Amino acid sequence: MITGVFEVKDKDLASRIGYIYTKTGKILTPTLLPVINPVRQEIKPSEIIDLGFQALITNAYLIRRYRCREALEKGVHKLLGVDKPVMTDSGAYQILQYGDVEVTNEEIVKFQEQIDSDIAVILDVPTGGLASREEAEYTVKETLRRAEEASKIRSRDDILWVLPIQGGTYLDLLEYSVKKGLKLPYHIVAIGSPTQLMERYDFETLIKMIATVKVNVPPGTPIHLFGAGHPMMLAFAIALGVDLFDSAAYILYAKDERYMTPWGTYRLKEISEFPCSCPICVKYTPTEIRELSVNEKMSLIAKHNLYVTLMELKRIRQAIREGRLWELLEEKSRVHPSLHRAFKVLGEYKDYLELLDPEVKGLVQGVFFYDNLSLSRPELLRYRRRILERYVKPKGYDKLIVIVGLKDKPYIRSHLYELLKNKFKDRHVVFYTPFYGVIPEELAETYPLSQFEVGAYDDMVERESINLLIDYVRKEKYKEVLLIYLDEAKTVARKIYLRMLRLNVKCNIRSHKSYM
């Protein structure tokens, strides 16, 4: 695998903000490349660039079939009328739709070089989301054969070449495809065949496909996801490490009078007020757009769809910079049941996400915990593991005070803590709190243990938090524990007390009022 074309600037979870360098210019990632039909353009490519997109993707097969001479004379950039990076697809989508195309792999590879593509794709054979096992195996083997063939045909070293990964929903075939393909000289890995899954809102399977590829790809390799660009799912794919997307949904939806939002899709006839402040939605009302001609209507809805996609990408990149991508996912998981299911599947890869998630992030801000899904947050997983594996209590303490129910942070600045510390100088003090479970006094002012907020958590969160406290007490071998609780925390303190008794640890429980 060729590296060196991708520069990473920021990270959060498995996501990256970075630059992909092409011969025409750099592309800030994660981003989406709008699909341009080279034969019929309802919106000029230059207008899409003016909206704020940095690169486009078009179809080299259609160019070769309908505008070949013009493209060979002008090059793909002048053909589209843009001076930004242009990626060209090979006609594989037409194979998926119609079963075959009238071009060979060798012909389309050479043609993309001749029209001066910045990023080019071999003529792969897409698996599709509905393929049988036998069909999927064929697409994997044939795509790998063509990838090896194309690597010998290529003559230019200034074009970035894309390695399509096939296998569809058969995860073992995806893994086989990527492991074999990585031995070949390609710059970008692309996951194929998500379109049919997207249409069914089967984001759970899509998450598994992305994760299967991602865990087998070197960290410095950009990952592209073909044909997946609805704003409602971008954050989830990006969280797993997808850097590039392409989509024609903006115009396809517009032709059907469908209006995109970050939480789903509306039909124009259903909308009374636009829930958006893009230039289109500010200038027009739904009624005014409904009264326009078919072409005008389509153009305006398509532009809105592009605007909302771009705004969602900006929001995601900002969340990455702030280290809040997990919180954005939690928020988005509540806007549609399919996203909630996808978020739960994402949690199955929590250990991998924690491995890639940076320990130090650019902007230091408070951490938010909501419910049991927050238990998979990488920062929390890291803390819970390290408090048991790395932390050692201060020497000389074999007695412990556990304070339950403090709210204001940092906890060691509370009046109750000061009183207890003065009264029990021979005891170590820790604080019980949901999610973190146990916070030793000497860590109470460190980030993020002094900067977090807890929502309305459930029984599972309480059970996991108490378990961590118990594991901590067992590990540190305290001989005596005194539980001090504030009145509103009496119930959970009682549960902790009963668990302590099972450890054969001498334990007493008292209200904080006993010491005030």
Question: pLDDT per residue over 49-81, tens digit each?
Answer: 999 999 999 999 999 988 989 999 999 999 999
DSSP 357-372: S-SS-SS---EEE-SG
Q: What is the DSSP string of 385-426?
A: HHHHHT--PPTT--EEEEEE---SSSGGGSHHHHHHHHH-TT
Give the domains, in start order, of the chain with CATH numbers. Answer: 6-352 (3.20.20.105), 370-515 (3.40.50.10630)
Burial of 265 (C-beta count, 10 Å sphere; 0-12/13-18/19+):
middle
Catalytic residue among 12, 89, 124, 357: 89
Regions of the chain short of the pLDDT cut 70: 1, 3, 92-101, 362-364, 516
The whole model's pTM is what?
A: 0.92
3-state secondary structure of 461: helix
DSSP string across 293-322:
-HHHHHHHHHHHHHHHHHHHHHHHHHHHHH
Interatomic CA distance for residues 39 and 94, integer angstroms: 15
pLDDT (0 to 100) of residue 444:
93
Pairing of strands 258-261, 264-267: antiparallel
DSSP of 107-169: HHHHHHHHTT-SEEE-------TT--HHHHHHHHHHHHHHHHHHHHH---SSSEEEEEE--TT
How far apart are alpha carbons 106 and 100 in whole angstroms? Answer: 15
- The predicted structure's pLDDT at residue 131: 84
d(CA 124, CA 143) in angstroms, rounded, equals: 5
> For residue 264, what are the CA distances in angstroms to 92, 198, 278, 339, 344?
28, 12, 17, 10, 19
Instruction: Identify which of 449, 456, 445 has the alpha carbon closest to the alpha carbon of residue 432.
Output: 449
pLDDT value, residue 130: 78
Buried b (16+ CB within 10 A) or exposed e, 491-512: ebbeebbebbeeeebebebeeb
Query: In 3D, which of 217, 227, 39, 27 has the Cα closest to residue 121?
Result: 227
120 has which bridge partners? Answer: 88, 161
Give me the pLDDT at residue 388, please: 96
| pLDDT digit string, tens, across residues 385-412 | 999 999 999 998 999 999 999 988 899 9
89 included as an active-site residue:
yes
